Amino acid sequence: MNLEWSAEQLALHNRLREHGGSPAPGQSGGGGASWQALAADQVMALPVPVEYGGLGHSALTCAFALEGLGYGCRDIGLLVSAGAHMWAVQHPIVKFGTPQQKATYLPGLASGTLTGAHAITETETGSDALAMEAVAVKDGTKYRLSGRKRFVTNAPLADVFLVYATLGQQFGFTGVTAFLVERDHPGLKVEAEYQKAGLRSCPWGQVVLDDCVVDESRRLGAEKQGSKIFASVMAWERTLLLAPLLGAVEAQLEECVQRSLSRRQFRRRIASFQSVSNRIVDLRVRLESARNVTYRAAWELADNEESFYPEMVKLAISEAAVATFEGAMQIFGGYGYTEEAGIEERLRDALGTRISSGTSDMQRSVIAAKLGMR
């Protein structure tokens, strides 16, 4: 793996590193202006082929660019929202979509004028995502979709939904099929979801399919190919969704170093206390480990989606982020516990990343299975 970044890659990383869409400390970001700031910086266009209005970058270049973005934009919720749009909607359309589907959706998704949402989770399935109850009944050249999806990222704002349903409970996961359904399509309704503890600028919602009839032209991929599409989504999402947090963690660690050098207690800089310096060193080691496994996963992603690296990335970054923001709160002391410092918001956001796109325990379980221990 060659990590000698090209001039183009470095320029892209550095441009996004200076992204101005970050909210002030203690303030939630998100909203149309921030989303539009990302769109103006062509963030959503990064992986989309050039012929559909994108930049056509590789997964490795995307990882490096998004790391820079996370350093400049501290709104983790907004970055997760954009990541779900890119990796769980754009990517499967690029890989499995028909020419007509690509021409219809990718230009708008790449420009940010369309927002995508990935609707698979249900109330009783959770981590067992493919054990779904939503059904798609075939009727000639149409499908009748019925069911309810929960915790759908971007649902309140989405224009197009990637929805999964099974052709029959008797088929199990082999019957799962994917569909592209637009927001105003008859039979699709978006309802409110619980307010979250963090990731406030990454909105959730429920998607209700009530006798939602769609033409077969809305099917993404072949019948019963939904599990394959979902597996590809998970590989790309787990590798790249949290890449911005590498930059956010780096920025937080820099602030911790500065704090340890400027804050004095007992007539000494607190950096001179081993409990402080050791904590920062350990957090830096976590960051470098997460960064390296991210680059390794992204480097081979296009050729090998079935390795255990995507799950390692998701696990390593989410756990490193939680540890970093919790450690920063300790280093900043009483001020670190205030809203003004902004650390508590980032910690609440990071806690959510250990759950979304598969919990940390699920990542460990999948890795164990891929190592032949299940």
For residues 34 and 72, what is the distance between their CA atoms, to the nearest angstrom? 13
Q: How many CB atoms lie within 10 A of CB 15?
A: 15
CA distances from 255 to 19, 309, 343 (A): 18, 30, 11
How many helices (H) and strands (E) are present in the chain, helices listed first?
12, 10
Please choose, from the candidates 63, 102, 37, 125, the residue with its C-alpha nearest in 3D space to the C-alpha of residue 293.
63
CA-only gyration radius of the chain, Å: 21
Would you say 215 and 142 are in contact if contact means Cβ atoms under 8 Å apart?
yes
For residues 203 and 222, what is the distance between their CA atoms, to the nearest angstrom? 30
For residues 1 and 103, what is the distance between their CA atoms, to the nearest angstrom? 34
Catalytic residue among 8, 182, 223, 237: 237
Residue-wise over 146-170: b if at least 16 C-beta within 10 A, else e?
bbbbbbbbbbbbbbbbbbbbbbeee
What's the one-letter identity of residue 88? A
Is 122 noted as a catalytic residue in this protein?
A: no
Q: How many CB atoms lie within 10 A of CB 101?
A: 18
Helix (H, G, I), strand (E, B) or coil at 207: strand
What's the one-letter identity of residue 292? N
What's the one-letter identity of residue 192? A
> Of all helices (H) and strands (E), which one includes residue 178?
strand 176-182
Helix (H, G, I), strand (E, B) or coil at 181: strand
Parallel, antiparallel, or unpaired: how do β-strands 219-220 and 204-215 relate? Answer: unpaired
In the chain, % helix, strand, coil (3-state, to 5) comes to 55, 15, 30
Would you say 179 and 220 are in contact if contact means Cβ atoms under 8 Å apart?
yes
Q: How many CB atoms lie within 10 A of CB 128?
A: 12
Catalytically active residues are 237
